[in-house]
Amino acid sequence: MARWVLLLSAAFLSVTSAQFVPPYTEDCRAGMYPPNGPTFKGPVSWYTIDLDLPPSKRWTAVIADKKSELVGMIQAIRDLADAFVPSGRLIELVDLTLPLMADTLPNPFRDEIKGIAAASGVPLGEVVLFNIFYEVFTVCTSVVAQDQKGNLLHGRNLDFGLFLGWDVKNKSWTISEKLKPLVVNLDFRRNNKTVFKSTNFAGYVGMLTGIKPHIFTLTMNERFSLDGGYIGILEWIMGQRDGMWMSFLTRSVLENATSYEEAKNKLALTKMLAPAYFILGGSQAGQGCIITRSRELSIDVLEINVKLGRWYVLETNYDHWKEPFFLDDRRTPAMKCMNQTTQANISVKTLYDVLSTKPVLNKLTTYTTLMQVSEGKLESYIRDCPDPCMPW
């Protein structure tokens, strides 16, 4: 309910400066792939994360290339904090207290975060803040689809930055725009062999989007709940640390699970700090599901079932058995476009078309990722949403 109140407030503030008029959508896009035109902001660069290196050294090359962008992102966060607390005491509190929190995080995440702070020169507390943001501010669209040959495709739009600084002049979210230059593709390797691949933000050690080549694909979407990430973070700070950070769990599964079923069980059963949706795709026909999670357990698992006519599963940020909030209905236009595409015509090309249709594509969208598990392929593109475009 609190999130709905914020959405309503943001809507009233936004409509005065941009064209957000019902029905909040457009005809299903076609011919968008290969990525082109004003919604395509650029390709995503590849980097290698060597898991054989000490955790504190793994991100050095990425940060060397993205240092200025990371510093700019952190400065934008500081500016937002100073706007709320002009005395500067909020950032002072972050710099004093969050370094202590870093020591409570499990490895390898703790040492990787410390290594990023050392390589970038950004205060440790602010790097910790950057890494816990995603427990509470992510809004996304994810879909796993099965074509008529039984091949699985997995696509997602990563939307981030809701309520984090609306730029009235440019009609954009400040943090969303600052994140786009930080988008990177990562090849995590051990013994010079790929363990998994991910699309991520430089300086962020958890995983939101990834592929274990030829085994499974995985994305994570935030699940709005009163018992949300804020509560889990506060419990962690207070010393109750029996849950796992969402993005740390996602990375652990990508790194260690050796099958679709093992990944599914770990995602369904591990206690977490925040509720979430895990969207998981396998390598065999029928292996695709949405795992709806509370902090303690799995509430529901919705699976692909072609015999029931369910050749895809699609998740935004609302329980699939409930209607989405009317000001944030990305599910209906996304499903409309998937149904219009049909199973006979689903492909990387047409999936990108669906993810390019407003409001599935919106002002919060930082990147689109497409994954083909059978080919071990992950491709990502930085996105833009020219006006008229919904703010979320």
- DSSP helix/strand/coil, 44: coil
- Which two three-digit tokens encode residue 84? 């709320």
Q: Which whole-number Å values give the CA distances from 295 to 231, 303, 314, 370, 375, in the listed order?
A: 10, 21, 21, 28, 34
What is the number of H-type helices and E-type strands within the chain? 11, 16
Contact 233, 216 (CB under 8 A): no
| Residue 140 annotated to the active site | yes
Give the number of residues written for the chain.
392
Q: How many CA atoms lie within 13 A of 258 on its CB side?
A: 0
Nearest to 14 by CA among 138, 171, 162: 171
Write the DSSP assignment of 294-350 as a string of letters. -SSSEEEEEE-BGGGTB-EEEESSS-TTSPPPGGG--HHHHHHHHHHH-GGG-SHHH
Q: Which of 28, 140, 337, 389 is catalytic?
A: 140
318, two tokens: 């609302």
d(Cα 213, Cα 305) in Å, to the nearest integer?
Answer: 23
Which active-site residues does the annotation give?
A: 140
